[in-house]
Structure 1
Amino acid sequence: MIALKYLQAYPATLQDKVRELIAQERLGEHLAKRYPGRHEVQSDRALYAYVASLKQQHLKNAPAIDKVLYDSKLDVLRNALGLHTAISRVQGGKLKAKKEIRVASLFKAAAPEFLQMIVVHELAHLKEIDHNKAFYQLCQYMLPDYHQREFDLRVYLTWRELPSTINVNHRE
């Protein structure tokens, strides 16, 4: 049986459906049908503008974001698809915090829906630090189908790690 490390928290019935698609060598095809497009947000500057636009649309009163970038060092294996940090520095007797959002570089080639889900997740951390009920309510406020996209993103990550003989025909 194939271990589905990104889907371990989901019910066995969902995991079995994913395993069935893998066994039929149709998981890549399934994902391509659901998410056929690729976004055009390729540079750090474009990513900053994209994040700023979503922030302005949903979280006008949240703290400003100082830096947004794609990060090739984020470790997807430890569930770091994106990262929200606040770096505090003393400047002239005052404590200043700079907010940063980093998105794993592998999402440069992903569907726009996956990039949006990652950005919404990181933006929600501006208001809610912990992954609690209020955090997920905020994610759903910004992206009503947040939970479905998170599941599909985890399926996508599972597909990316399949041996190349299974997904060679569907690689981006």
Structure 2
Amino acid sequence: MTAPRPPDTDLPFLRGYAEPLLAQVRGLIDTGRLGDYLAKRYPNRHQIQSDKALHAYVDDLRQRYLRRSQRPDRICYDSKLDVLHNALGLNTRQARVHGGRLQTRREIRIASLFRDTAPEFLDMIVVHELAHLRELEHNKAFYQLCEHMLPGYGQLEFDLRLWLTWQALSPDT
């Protein structure tokens, strides 16, 4: 008989979820079916591979849902973002004094591991970072905006966390 696992310690990407749900995830992992579940649910891969294509894609979504928000100066994939510390995307602002004026530069960086994921996962990360243009904190208004831009956002966020868990457990990644 094996000792019970302490809650949340074995599933770092799923911290905060209810224990019955975590038990289901552990069951999928223990039976080796988590990868199959994800492959069946998300069989496709997106074609947005370059920073230029990513910039056009993000700007199109921004135009559709956040027209009045400031356009980010730079949008790119970033291989230095640390997934283990939950940095899947990054939205930064830099304010600098230039002459007598204050200039703000905005950047959106998406972890480069999203170059080879399901389009739904890229959508989720992009929507999350775009929502930060309007809402800085992860509050109720932030998640309502995410859900408005991408219906089913909450499920996609959970499934992305499942995918990250599966990636962390896979020996070939």
TM-score by length of 1: 0.93
Q: How does 1:1-172 map to 2 (within 5 A)?
A: 1=5, 3-164=10-171
Task: Give, in whole Å, the separation in 2 of the partners of 1:38 and 1:157.
Answer: 16
Deviation at 1:153, TM superposition (A): 0.3
Deviation at 1:53, TM superposition (A): 0.6
Task: Give, in whole Å, the separation in 2 of the partners of 1:8 and 1:58.
Answer: 30
Partner amino acid, structure 1, of 2:14: L
Deviation at 1:14, TM superposition (A): 1.1
Question: Helix, strand or coil for the counterpart of 1:25?
Answer: coil
Partner amino acid, structure 2, of 1:139: C
CA root-mean-square deviation: 1.2
Task: Give, in whole Å, the separation in 2 of the partners of 1:74 and 1:113.
Answer: 20
Aligned residues: 166
Unaligned runs of 5+ in 1: none
Task: Give, in whole Å, the separation in 1 of the partners of 2:134 and 2:162.
Answer: 28
Unaligned runs of 5+ in 2: none
Partner amino acid, structure 2, of 1:71: D
Task: Give, in whole Å, the separation in 2 of the partners of 1:129 and 1:69.
Answer: 20
1:17-67 CA distance string (max 9 Å, x none): 111111111111100011000000101000000100110111111111110
Runs of 4 or more above 2 Å deviation: none
Identity over aligned pairs, percent: 58
Deviation at 1:88, TM superposition (A): 1.2
Partner amino acid, structure 1, of 2:153: Y
TM-score by length of 2: 0.93
Deviation at 1:163, TM superposition (A): 4.3
